[in-house]
Structure 1
Amino acid sequence: MDEDAVFAFGSALAAIAGLLEEKGVCTATEISQSLGHAAMVHLKAGEQYKPRDYLRAWAVSVKAAADGMNTPQH
């Protein structure tokens, strides 16, 4: 997967996380944490799961959006 696709998918996940948070299903932070946990599982599972490192990038994208959502607007 190329870098642009990784960032685009991360942005899409952040948007979906925002919608789920607005609807009261779960918080965007919870989604970010779940993606982060999945990334750690793959990292610890071995080198054959290295391509799955995308999960970490997506977790960071959702976390950044969640942090932005929780910032007071002026």
Structure 2
Amino acid sequence: MGYQDRGQRNGSTLYSEVTDRIIAQIEEGTLPWVRPWDDGKAALGLPRNAGTGRRYSGINVLILWHRLFKQGYGSQRWLT
């Protein structure tokens, strides 16, 4: 998905994308909620907005954790 497409994506599409990722992981034999959390480089905790320091909540936490572990980022601070 290109950068321009992201701004046009509605909420239901985003939820479908996250659901599809979870289902794919289950089908591959990985239970996303039992994942070993020590394989990341970032400290454990809730993702925070890098500008305000405010914690993310709801589905945003799962989306950001997915990206954190997939990309191996070293920080849980995000600018979204």
* Higher RCO (C-alpha 8 Å, min separation 6): 1
**TM-score, normalization by structure 2:** 0.35
- Name the structure where helix makes up a greater proportion of residues: 1
